Structures are given as structure tokens and as C-alpha cells.
């Protein structure tokens, strides 16, 4: 059961107990209808402050009791002592079946305080203190429950403050748990990526290293070319892993086997893209690489907005062309839009 439901049940039970003291007096009263009016007014005000819904919550905590309901409760706290006292003779003002209104108003103001209207609750207590002191005298009011009602409101306000603090601590703990879970998830993904890269590096480099050991370093030109391609592949995995998938790797491998020089650089320009967006970028990159015959290619993430990757193909060195004429390919892959 929620804390709010428990507190509501306690408030209802205590308010009904106090109202029952007035509804069933130990001695006959001169004006029972007036007493019944006081009991009904007390119960109605209690039901109002318990049941009226708050306005839409703005922020992390619940919204306070509507101001109009708090004002009504304070008005009841001002009227109830006079109504109940009017039901009997002045000589009986200190009788238990008359002074129950002190506890009833205290209970009502406690509910108002718990529902985040502490200023109105204390206003109601001040009004109760003035009215009961006029009717019973200051010593009589203090002796017949005014102190207890004041303490209830103070406890109610402290309860609300402690509940808010507990809520804040719970939110912080949940936030820390989420951050910890996210960090652990990130570390797990990174460890898996590192394992995959190590396995891929071994897969690429192992044949070359085996050949180097077997030939005691006496490599043929074909072996040297294969070693250079393996070195380029490992560099791609280190410097541009987010731009690579199987299709891109195959396209780069085909270009290198044809004698082209391919450089892949990821400088953080696509770190904010999710996997779906990266898949679109990689697909276009693979298509671009398959369609070019440029002997020198540079693939790098772009810094300008709207562009994810830039692919530049240059003519072979020694053609005698100026720099602007040496560009054989310039292709910009746009950033995918949501």
C-alpha cells in the first residue's frame, strides 16, 4: 500500500473519531441541530482537503492542495469553534463534547500541511488559537488540546519535508544506478569490440607473420604487397572502425588488391550517429568505393554540418597535373536525417 493511502486512512479514521465525539455527546445539548451542523461542516472540510485533486504537477514532486481548498479549510477553522460552542450553554464550553473542535481543526490543518500548504495550515492554527482562547481562555485552550493540534501541524510539515528528502534521495539513487548500468553496458560493449578487433587483427596478420617466420624474412614482392595490405587493413580498424562493415571492408580490399592506396580516418564526426544512421552512411560509402578507379583514396569523417563522410580520390603521383586537376573523385555522404 502506498504511503499516501496509509496517511489518508489515518486521517479519515482520526477525523471520524473526533466527529463522533461531537455527534454522540455524553450529555444532552441545548441545540443539537447546531451541533450536527458543526459535525457535518468538519467532515465536509476534511473530505474536501483529502479528495480534491491537485493541479497538474510542475516538477519532480506532487502539486500542492489548490489554494481555494486551503482557504475553505481555514474558513472552517474560524467558524467551527463558534458553531459548536453555540450548540450548548456557555457553562459547558469546556466539556469534551464541545471542545472536540480543537482536535478536529488540528487534524484538518495537519492534512492541509501535508498537502503542501503549510502557510495556510499555520494560519488555520493561529485562527483556532484566537477563537478557542476567546471562548475558553488561554489556559483552557492550551489544556484542552491547542498544544496538541499545534504539534500535529508541525509533525505534518516535517513529515512532508522528510518525504520530499527521501524522494530526492531515491531519485538520486535511481540516477546513479542508471548511470552505473549504462557505464557497465558501455564497458561490456567496448570489451567485446576490443576482442573482436584483436581476433580480426590475428586473422589478418597471422598468415603474413607465419610467412615471415617460415621464410626467415625473405619475402617475395607478392608477400610484401600482401603484408602492406594487411598493415592497411589493421590501420583501418584502428583509425576508422565506425566507418567499416563487411561491405566497406570488401570494397577497400578490392581497391588495394588493384594497387590503390586507401586511407580511412574517423576523427569523431559520426560519433553522434546511431547504428541505423551509420548503416546508411556505410552503404553509400561501399557503393562509392566500388564505383571508383582512383589510385589514391582518402575517406574521412567531415567536420562541416550536414556531411557525414567525405571521399576524395586523387590521380597517381607524377602525372604533372596541378592539385585541383589531380582530384579524380570528390564525394560527400550526407548525414542521415531522422
The answer to whether position 183 is within a domain reads no
Residue 12 lies in a domain: yes
Domain-ending residue, one of 117, 147, 173: 173
- Residue 88: other Cβ atoms inside 10 A: 21
- At how many degrees (to 10) do helices 246-257 and 221-239 cross? 150
Q: What is the pLDDT of residue 105?
A: 92
Q: What is the mean pLDDT of the chain?
A: 84
Say whether pLDDT at 79 is over 80. yes
Work out the average pLDDT over 226-247.
Answer: 86
Is the pLDDT higher at 294 or at 315? 294
In a domain, 180, yes or no: no
Decide if 49 is inside a domain: yes
Rounded CA separation 47/55 (Å): 17
Say whether both 120 and 44 belong to one domain. yes
Q: Is 32 inside a domain boundary?
A: yes
Q: Which domain holds residue 137?
A: 3-173
22 compared with 69, residue with greater pLDDT: 69
Number of domains in the chain: 2
Residues 295 and 157 in one domain: no
What local confidence, expressed as pLDDT, does residue 282 receive? 93
Task: Give residue-wise pLDDT tens across range 121-139.
Answer: 999 999 999 998 988 888 8
334 touches 305 (CB < 8 A): no
Does one domain contain both 13 and 162?
yes
Are 149 and 265 in a shared domain? Answer: no
* pLDDT at residue 172 tops 60: yes
Same domain (yes/no): 39, 112: yes
Please give, one letter per residue, the 3-state secondary structure of 184-225.
HHHHHHHHHHHHHHHHHHHHHHHHHHHHHHHCCCCCCHHHHH
- The reply to whether 245 and 157 lie within a common domain is no
Domain boundary among 149, 173, 197: 173
Residue 1 pLDDT exceeds 50: no
Residue 201 lies in a domain: no
Map residue 227 onto helix, strand or coil.
helix
Among 139, 154, 173, the domain boundary falls at 173
258: CB partners within 8 A, 6+ apart: none
Residue 220: inside a domain, yes or no?
Answer: no
293: in domain:
yes
| 168 and 251 fall within a common domain | no
Task: Write 275-279 long-range contacts (CB < 8 A, 24+).
Answer: 276/336, 277/335, 277/336, 278/242, 279/245
State in Å, rounded, how far the first CA of the chain is from the last one. 43
Amino acid at each position: 500500500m502506498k504511503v499516501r493511502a496509509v496517511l489518508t486512512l489515518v486521517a479519515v479514521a482520526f477525523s471520524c473519531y473526533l466527529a463522533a465525539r461531537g455527534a454522540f455527546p455524553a450529555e444532552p445539548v441545548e441545540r443539537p441541530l447546531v451541533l450536527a451542523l458543526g459535525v457535518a461542516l468538519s467532515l465536509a472540510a476534511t473530505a474536501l482537503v483529502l479528495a480534491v485533486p491537485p493541479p497538474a504537477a510542475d516538477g519532480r514532486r506532487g502539486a500542492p492542495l489548490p489554494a481555494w481548498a486551503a482557504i475553505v479549510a481555514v474558513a472552517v477553522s474560524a467558524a467551527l469553534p463558534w458553531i459548536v460552542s453555540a450548540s450548548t450553554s456557555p457553562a459547558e464550553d469546556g466539556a469534551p463534547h464541545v471542545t472536540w473542535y480543537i482536535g478536529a481543526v488540528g487534524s484538518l490543518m495537519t492534512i492541509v500541511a501535508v498537502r503542501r500548504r503549510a502557510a495556510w495550515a499555520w494560519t488555520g492554527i493561529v485562527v483556532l488559537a484566537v477563537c478557542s482562547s476567546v471562548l475558553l481562555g488561554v489556559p483552557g485552550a492550551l489544556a484542552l488540546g491547542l498544544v496538541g493540534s499545534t504539534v500535529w501541524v508541525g509533525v505534518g510539515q516535517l513529515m512532508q519535508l522528510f518525504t520530499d528528502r527521501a524522494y530526492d534521495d531515491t531519485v538520486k539513487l535511481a540516477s546513479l544506478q542508471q548511470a552505473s548500468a549504462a557505464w557497465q553496458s558501455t564497458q561490456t560493449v567496448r570489451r567485446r569490440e576490443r576482442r573482436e578487433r584483436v581476433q580480426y587483427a590475428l586473422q589478418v596478420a597471422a598468415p603474413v607473420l607465419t610467412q615471415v617466420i617460415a621464410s626467415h624474412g625473405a619475402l617475395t614482392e607478392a608477400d610484401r604487397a600482401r603484408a602492406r595490405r594487411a598493415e592497411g587493413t589493421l590501420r583501418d580498424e584502428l583509425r576508422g572502425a565506425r566507418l567499416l562493415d563487411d561491405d566497406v571492408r570488401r570494397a577497400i580490399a578490392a581497391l588495394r588488391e588493384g594497387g590503390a592506396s586507401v586511407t580511412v580516418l574517423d576523427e569523431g564526426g559520426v560519433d553522434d550517429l546511431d547504428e541505423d544512421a551509420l548503416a546508411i552512411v556505410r552503404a553509400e560509402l561501399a557503393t562509392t568505393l566500388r564505383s571508383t578507379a582512383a589510385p589514391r583514396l582518402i575517406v574521412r569523417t567531415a567536420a562541416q554540418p550536414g556531411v557525414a563522410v567525405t571521399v576524395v580520390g586523387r590521380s597517381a603521383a607524377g602525372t604533372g597535373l596541378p592539385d585541383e586537376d589531380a582530384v579524380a573523385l570528390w564525394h560527400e555522404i550526407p548525414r542521415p536525417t531522422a
